[in-house]
């Protein structure tokens, strides 16, 4: 147990949803099992519809833990964890019962000199965009925002205007330092490792610019299709779900200037400055796609024009990156599930070794749970001639640093919220700027091109990168 953390009441809105079952409860369980949660805490699940009695809700949570944590569940830890969980229905019009339940839980902590005004609230809002504002208004009416940290799941609005309205509504009821806009990609070990790689290595830091780097690919294909999320996708689409959020945040970490230190202000300032420098997108260099069969998915319109795939070229107008193309690609029902960042280096201006060029130098970051890094180099083909061949350095952090204790992204970010750490959360000016960047595509979307399931998207997207995507060949 973490003695230094005050007692907490955690309220999860959307507690019977997919995210709660797959990520939030498993993340909280792992923190509990590792003794990283406060000594005193309870979790109140909430939503519009009751999942049944508290015991039935606990059983649902338990089933989710069996599916996700599985054999690693510790029976004492899981019993203790489930014993702290209950459910209370609430909606934007009526939160009185929930508020009463929160206060009751706080009073129950009232022992050993602690008093309820020391109890902190963590309000986790995993809700569709349309439900967000009314729910925030309810939390304010019921005074649940006092002593609270509020975690907001993306998408933050549906366009520039609605995101500004949401932001104003949030700031109306809480201070910015109570707000945690979550983008779980920033909680991934491998994503945070980009910072270590860039700023702690003399090998890379001096080469991290347009003089050395020819292009960058940020490629997040997914084999996953809708999996019952048709209605969410119909109102969101791939551009909002993945690109203006996860992929742009990756772009931020890959491209921003040295933030000097890792405190929240420096990191978010550096990211915000980078996002300011994004050149207006060239409409002709953005490809939207929709996989064949998407319109037959549950809750999807027969004539839906929603994109399930996006590829685009992005430029950053600053001295470091001028005219270096950044290619972003992601989509559902594609040929592979990967999260791969590839920095392609320029070929040196030398005439010493002419002839065939086997493999350009590429630094490839695989953002898996165990980060993997590959560097493709050219080397001499052993033998009597000076012919070149391609070879690779590989680093597998999971194997090479076996005593590491990686945390899953949500687990890490939930811990950060408990500790009041906001470095890996996004700030409203970043979010606003990214909406500004993509708004022209919302106003005038590119034609949505069909693609086969299990492919690499429409041909136009494959052709977007003149020298080819790293993924999609045999990589
Ligand atoms: C979520 C998106 O935020 O991220 C999903 O809503 C996507 O559509 C998911 O599949 C990908 O996250 P991860 O961590 O599984 O790569």
Report the nearest atom of ligand 1 relative to the CA of 233.
Answer: 8
Nearest to 444, CA basis, from 231, 283, 211: 283
What is the mean predicted confidence (pLDDT) over 117-134?
92
For 176-185, the pLDDT digits (tens) are: 999 999 999 9
What is the mean predicted confidence (pLDDT) over 11-19?
94
What is the mean predicted confidence (pLDDT) over 23-38?
97
Q: Determine whether 246 is an active site residue.
A: yes
Q: What is the DSSP letter of 21?
A: I
Report the nearest atom of ligand 1 relative to the CA of 229.
Answer: 8
Is the CB of residue 313 below 6 angstroms from any atom belonging to ligand 1? no
3-state secondary structure at position 311 = strand
Percent pLDDT > 90 in the chain is: 82
Percent pLDDT > 70 in the chain is: 96
Question: Can you say how many angstroms the Cα of residue 385 is from the centroid of all Cα atoms in its chain?
Answer: 49
What is the mean predicted confidence (pLDDT) over 292-315?
98
The residue whose CA has the least distance to atom 13 of ligand 1 is 185
Is the CB of residue 222 below 6 angstroms from any atom belonging to ligand 1? yes
What is the mean predicted confidence (pLDDT) over 51-62?
96
d(CA 93, CA 85): 24
For 351-390, the pLDDT digits (tens) are: 667 655 657 899 999 998 778 899 988 888 889 988 888 8
Tell me, in angstroms, the distance from the centre of ligand 1 to residue 384's CA.
51
Cβ within 8 Å of residue 289, ≥6 positions away:
307, 308, 309, 310, 311, 331, 448, 449, 450, 451, 457, 458, 461
What is the mean predicted confidence (pLDDT) over 399-408?
84
What is the mean predicted confidence (pLDDT) over 154-167?
94
- Does 111 have pLDDT greater than 80? no
Is the CB of residue 224 below 6 angstroms from any atom belonging to ligand 1? yes
- What's the confidence (pLDDT) of residue 314? 98
The residue whose CA has the least distance to atom 4 of ligand 1 is 242
Sheet bearing 286-291, strands edge to edge: 388-396, 372-380, 362-366, 340-345, 213-221, 326-331, 309-314, 286-291, 448-451
Report the nearest atom of ligand 1 relative to the CA of 222.
Answer: 10
- Does 259 have pLDDT greater than 90? yes
What is the mean predicted confidence (pLDDT) over 216-226?
97
The residue whose CA has the least distance to atom 8 of ligand 1 is 241
- What's the confidence (pLDDT) of residue 431? 97
- Does 293 have pLDDT greater than 70? yes
- What's the confidence (pLDDT) of residue 51? 93
Is the CB of residue 307 below 6 angstroms from any atom belonging to ligand 1? no
Tell me, in angstroms, the distance from the centre of ligand 1 to residue 398's CA.
22
Return the best residue to mutate from 239, 241, 291, 310 for the ligand 1 pocket (most ligand atoms within 8 A of CB): 241
Name the least confident of 27-31, 138-142, 395-399: 395-399
What is the mean predicted confidence (pLDDT) over 125-146?
94
The residue whose CA has the least distance to atom 2 of ligand 1 is 241
Is the CB of residue 241 below 6 angstroms from any atom belonging to ligand 1? yes
- Does 474 have pLDDT greater than 70? no
Whose tokens are 């005074």? That residue is 143
- pLDDT class for 118, splitting at 50, 70, 90? confident
- What's the confidence (pLDDT) of residue 230? 94
- What's the confidence (pLDDT) of residue 114? 63
Whose tokens are 């509504």? That residue is 169
- What's the confidence (pLDDT) of residue 110? 73
- Does 171 have pLDDT greater than 90? yes
Tell me, in angstroms, the distance from the centre of ligand 1 to residue 332's CA.
10
Tell me, in angstroms, the distance from the centre of ligand 1 to residue 138's CA.
29
Name the least confident of 212-226, 302-316, 369-383, 452-466: 369-383
Report the nearest atom of ligand 1 relative to the CA of 241.
Answer: 6
- Does 307 have pLDDT greater than 90? yes
Whose tokens are 């690693």? That residue is 72
Return the best residue to mutate from 26, 221, 230, 242 for the ligand 1 pocket (most ligand atoms within 8 A of CB): 242
Tell me, in angstroms, the distance from the centre of ligand 1 to residue 108's CA.
37
Return the best residue to mutate from 18, 21, 184 for the ligand 1 pocket (most ligand atoms within 8 A of CB): 184
- What's the confidence (pLDDT) of residue 3? 58
Tell me, in angstroms, the distance from the centre of ligand 1 to residue 335's CA.
16
Name the least confident of 22-31, 239-248, 327-336, 465-474: 465-474
What is the mean predicted confidence (pLDDT) over 291-309?
97
Report the nearest atom of ligand 1 relative to the CA of 185.
Answer: 14
Tell me, in angstroms, the distance from the centre of ligand 1 to residue 192's CA.
17
User: Quick one: CA dihedral 17, 218, 279, 305, positive or negative?
Assistant: negative
Catalytic residue among 49, 246, 349, 467: 246
Return the best residue to mutate from 246, 310, 333, 406 for the ligand 1 pocket (most ligand atoms within 8 A of CB): 246
- What's the confidence (pLDDT) of residue 379? 84
Tell me, in angstroms, the distance from the centre of ligand 1 to residue 423's CA.
21
d(CA 304, CA 30): 40
What is the mean predicted confidence (pLDDT) over 116-132?
91
Q: Where are the beta strands (DSSP E) in 2-104?
A: 8-13, 41-47, 85-89
- Does 399 have pLDDT greater than 90? no
- What's the confidence (pLDDT) of residue 354? 61
- Does 240 have pLDDT greater than 60? yes
- Does 416 have pLDDT greater than 60? yes
């Amino acid at each position: 147990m973490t003695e230094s953390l005050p007692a907490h009441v955690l309220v999860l809105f959307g507690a019977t949803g997919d995210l709660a079952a797959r990520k939030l409860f498993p993340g909280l369980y792992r923190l509990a099992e590792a003794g990283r949660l406060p000594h005193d805490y309870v979790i109140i699940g909430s939503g519009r519809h009751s999942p049944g009695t508290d015991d039935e809700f606990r059983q649902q949570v338990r089933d989710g833990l069996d599916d996700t944590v599985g054999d690693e569940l510790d029976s004492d830890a899981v019993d203790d964890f489930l014993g702290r969980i209950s459910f209370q229905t609430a909606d934007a019009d009526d939160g009185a019962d929930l508020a009463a339940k929160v206060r009751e839980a706080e009073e129950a902590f009232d022992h050993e000199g602690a008093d309820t005004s020391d109890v902190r609230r963590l309000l986790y809002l995993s809700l569709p965009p349309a439900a967000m504002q009314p729910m925030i208004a309810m939390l304010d009416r019921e005074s649940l925002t006092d002593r609270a940290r509020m975690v907001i799941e993306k998408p933050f609005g549906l366009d520039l205007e609605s995101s500004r309205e949401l932001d104003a509504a949030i700031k109306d009821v809480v201070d910015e330092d109570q707000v945690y806009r979550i983008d779980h990609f920033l909680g991934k070990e491998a994503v945070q490792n980009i910072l270590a790689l860039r700023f702690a290595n003399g090998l890379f830091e001096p080469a991290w610019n347009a003089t050395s780097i020819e292009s960058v690919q940020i490629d997040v294909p997914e084999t996953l299709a809708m999996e019952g999320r048709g209605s969410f996708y119909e109102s969101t689409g791939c551009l909002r779900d993945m690109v203006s959020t996860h992929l742009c945040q990756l772009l931020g970490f890959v491209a921003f200037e040295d933030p000097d230190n890792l405190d929240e202000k420096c990191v978010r300032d550096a990211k915000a400055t980078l996002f300011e420098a994004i050149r207006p997108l060239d409409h002709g260099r953005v490809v939207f796609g929709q996989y064949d069969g998407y319109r037959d998915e549950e809750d999807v319109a027969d004539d839906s024009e929603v994109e399930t795939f996006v590829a685009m070229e992005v430029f950053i107008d600053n001295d470091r990156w001028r005219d270096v193309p950044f290619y972003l690609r992601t989509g559902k029902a594609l040929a592979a599930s990967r999260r791969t960042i590839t920095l392609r280096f320029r070929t040196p201006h030398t005439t010493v070794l002419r002839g065939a060029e086997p493999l350009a130098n590429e630094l490839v970051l695989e953002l898996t749970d165990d980060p993997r890094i590959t560097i493709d180099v050219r080397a001499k083909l052993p033998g009597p001639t000076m012919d070149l061949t391609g070879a690779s350095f590989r680093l597998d952090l999971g194997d090479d640093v076996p005593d590491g204790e990686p945390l899953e992204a949500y687990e890490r970010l939930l811990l950060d919220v408990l500790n009041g750490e906001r470095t890996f959360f996004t700030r409203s000016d970043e979010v606003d700027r990214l909406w500004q960047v993509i708004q022209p595509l919302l106003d005038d979307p590119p034609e949505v091109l069909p693609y086969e399931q299990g492919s690499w998207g429409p041909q136009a997207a494959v052709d977007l990168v003149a020298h080819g995507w790293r993924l999609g060949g045999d990589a």
